[in-house]
């Protein structure tokens, strides 16, 4: 088995987490790509570029999780806004529940590992 460097592991975990967060942000209100990049910058570990967000949005649209529509913008050219489809909304609910369960299990296992280390 090949060893996974910390950077690779971090990149893999970020990819799935980014999809969950993008779906959640779109669920709060329809958003365009650059708006998502700006919103994600609020959380340093989630900060990303348009070069990551736009391909993700295209894939989500291809998979039927989001739909897009063009809207006029007072600040420039029309923008492509993304919103969740019913399928995407249901998926987001399942992903959110899975995330809560997984993050709690990871938190507990890390806590158990620290306890074992301190008693060993």
Provide mean pLDDT across the span 75-94. Answer: 96
The predicted pLDDT at position 117 comes to 66
Contacts of 82 (CB under 8 A, 6+ apart): 26, 30, 31, 32, 33, 57, 60, 61, 66, 67, 68
CATH number, span 10-119: 1.10.10.10
89 in Cβ contact with 73 (< 8 Å): no
> pTM above the 0.75 mark?
yes
User: Mean pLDDT, the chain, as a whole number?
Assistant: 91
In angstroms, how far is the first alpha carbon of the chain from the final one?
Answer: 29
Confidence of residue 12 (pLDDT cuts 50, 70, 90): confident
Return the structure tokens found at 100. Answer: 């809560």
Has residue 42 got a pLDDT over 80? Answer: yes
**E strand spans, the chain:** 31-32, 66-73, 76-84
What are the residue boundaries of the structural domains of the chain, listed by start? 10-119
d(CA 105, CA 97): 12
d(CA 40, CA 18): 9
């Amino acid at each position: 088995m090949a060893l996974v460097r910390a950077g690779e592991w971090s990149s893999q975990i970020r990819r799935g987490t980014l999809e969950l967060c993008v779906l959640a942000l779109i669920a709060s209100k329809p958003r365009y790509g650059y708006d998502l990049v700006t919103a994600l910058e609020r959380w340093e570990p989630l900060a990303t570029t348009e070069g990551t967000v736009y391909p993700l949005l295209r894939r989500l649209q291809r998979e039927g999780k989001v739909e897009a529509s063009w809207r006029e913008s007072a600040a420039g050219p029309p923008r492509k806004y993304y919103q969740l489809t019913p399928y995407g909304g249901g998926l987001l609910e399942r992903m959110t529940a899975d995330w809560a369960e997984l993050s709690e299990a990871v938190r507990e296992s890390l806590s158990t590992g620290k306890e074992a280390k301190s008693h060993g």
